[in-house]
Amino acid sequence: MANQDFLNEINKRRTFAIISHPDAGKTTITEKVLLFGQALQKAGTVKGKKSGQHAKSDWMEMEKDRGISITTSVMQFPYRDCLVNLLDTPGHEDFSEDTYRTLTAVDSCLMVIDTAKGVEDRTIKLMEVTRLRDTPIITFMNKMDRDTRDPMEVMDEVEEVLKIKCAPITWPIGMGKEFKGVYNILDDETILYQSGQGHTIQEKRVIKGLNNPELDAAIGNYADDLREELELVVGASHEFDHEAFLKGELTPVFFGTALGNFGVDHMLDGLTKWAPTPLPRTTDVRDVAATEEKFSGFVFKIQANMDPKHRDRIAFMRIVSGKYSKGMKMRQVRIGKDVKIADAVTFMAGDRANVEEAFAGDIIGLHNHGSIQIGDTFTAGEDMKFTGIPNFAPELFRRIRLRDPLKAKQLQKGLIQLSEEGAVQVFRPFNSNDMIVGAVGVLQFEVVVQRLKTEYNVDAIYEPISVATARWCTCDNPRTLEQFEKKAYDNLALDGGDNLTYIAPTMVNLSLAQERHPDIEFHRTREH
């Protein structure tokens, strides 16, 4: 039986990520969340200002300078009785694969909406991904210090477009220059906003009770408007229901301004109170509960050169069950080896620190010298593999060519390692010595050529190639598969992990191939 201290450690963990459209305020909220977590003395130091606004060409320099800005990193901080893990996701949509995989490692998400704009594209896409696992969603309606759209209308839009019920927990009073604060519907109290205090934790000015005359004294006519509006809002929206929230069917909604640091703490209170403790994960053998004492975890992300001072790769592992302690041995299931992990790292506001121990729900970083791949499962000895970490069929393709033909081996090695990291996908056609690089976003191509140069000393360039899409092919019957390999030879390739892939020059060609080979399954996503 697990002892109580162990259970307490796990039950206080909350692991979440932020989903939002660029510019909605993710970076600003992250700063304020860390301010509340007391990981930072003063907000505004997590990332350089305007990180989202850099031109594409600045990207390489940016990553070099700051290391953590675009690719995923993890921040852990205490809040009330909880220990919160916030997983950052790349802001640029060209790195959306990383974001999708990061969402497999969290137990809940914070959805940030710019209330002046409402529901935007990226948010719709990311919500679709969270739906695959029914991840519980908390909503923050940001930028109330600006002239926003009607809050009720934006909430309706969330319900309609994202197909999730909204339960307002707080309700805004005024907006823009006239933003007065929020009324907390569950606690029946008004929290007043003071502008110009975005960089500090504001002293809370709270007025209990909606009919309290103090409220009229504090906000004048807005008090009566609020009373009227609330009748409508409460009648027209959903009541908070914890079960429905945990099933991903209903989202509690908070209003505020991240820039003015108002409302972020209300959201954090909700998150720590309601968001799930570390959830179980599925393997090919059985489900694994967080409270099992035996250690297990999976790798969802590999990142190179996080810090120019440490030129290595870090494999990010979500601990699913049990506890990591420094120096422990774990089984890397794919290669069937026991490895001793003496130097796992965590990332607190960008700094590395050695972790002595970590529990289910936490993320640890393992130094990777090329032996760890995305999707790898680590256990206390059991042979099982966590499922559900996706690879997406790339949408963009280029042929990669060497400037120096003698470096073919290095190129192949580099590309295969980079594909194992998930930086890019690589395909080697059966009928030629070409290497085709596939990506989900265009920036991935640039990153790969740059990294081939600095890490593998290979000078490569791209050439256009007419490929529309790729599909991973499987079939239970080895004879059928063999025949397929002969007949479709000119369109087949192996990916970086030696998986059979159909390379389609056009979508029509793909449909024809599917018709011709009905016993072959063509997959748009592949699990690691």
Q: Establish if 221 lies at the interface with ligand G4P (CB under 6 A).
A: no
Q: Establish if 91 lies at the interface with ligand G4P (CB under 6 A).
A: yes
State CA 154 to chain mean position distance.
24
| Binding span for ligand G4P by CB under 6 A among 8-16, 19-27, 412-420, 459-467 | 19-27
Q: Which is nearer to ligand G4P, 142 or 283 (CB)?
A: 142
| Binding span for ligand G4P by CB under 6 A among 25-33, 154-162, 425-433, 511-519 | 25-33
Q: Which of 112, 120, 116, 171 is nearest to 148 (CA)?
A: 116
Minimum distance, C-beta of residue 40 to ligand G4P, in the bound complex (Å): 15
Q: Establish if 196 lies at the interface with ligand G4P (CB under 6 A).
A: no
Distance CA 117, CA 161 (A): 14
Distance CA 518, CA 511 (A): 11
Classify 351 as helix, strand or coil: strand
Q: Establish if 331 lies at the interface with ligand G4P (CB under 6 A).
A: no
Tokens representing residue 415 in the block: 């590309």
Q: Is residue 238 part of an annotated ligand binding site? A: no
Strands 205-208 and 189-192, bridge-based pairing: antiparallel
Q: Establish if 26 lies at the interface with ligand G4P (CB under 6 A).
A: yes
Q: Which of 15, 20, 99, 419 binds ligand G4P (CB under 6 A)?
A: 20
Q: Establish if 261 lies at the interface with ligand G4P (CB under 6 A).
A: no
Q: Is residue 88 part of an annotated ligand binding site? A: yes
Distance CA 62, CA 367 (A): 23
Classify 101 as helix, strand or coil: helix
Strands 323-325 and 357-359, bridge-based pairing: antiparallel
Classify 254 as helix, strand or coil: strand
DSSP state letter for 257: B
DSSP state letter for 68: S
Distance CA 314, CA 374 (A): 11
Q: 31: which residues sit within 8 A by CB, 6+ positions away?
A: 40, 43, 44, 45, 46, 47, 258
* Residue 243: Cβ within 10 Å count: 8
- Considering only residues 132 to 161 of the shown chain, the ones binding ligand G4P according to CB under 6 A are 142-143, 145-146
Q: Is residue 145 part of an annotated ligand binding site? A: yes
Q: Which is nearer to ligand G4P, 53 or 221 (CB)?
A: 53
| Binding span for ligand G4P by CB under 6 A among 22-30, 101-109, 119-127, 182-190 | 22-30
Q: Which is nearer to ligand G4P, 93 or 229 (CB)?
A: 93
Q: Establish if 301 lies at the interface with ligand G4P (CB under 6 A).
A: no
Q: Which of 19, 25, 126, 359 binds ligand G4P (CB under 6 A)?
A: 25
Q: Establish if 174 lies at the interface with ligand G4P (CB under 6 A).
A: no
Minimum distance, C-beta of residue 44 to ligand G4P, in the bound complex (Å): 10
What is the x/- site pattern for ligand G4P, positions 34-73, by CB under 6 A? Answer: ----------------x-xx--------------------
Q: Which of 497, 5, 14, 10 is nearest to 275 (CA)?
A: 14
Residues of the binding site for GTP: 20-27, 88-92, 142-145
Q: Which residues would be at the binding site for ligand G4P (CB under 6 A)? A: 20, 22-28, 50, 52-53, 91, 142-143, 145-146, 257-260
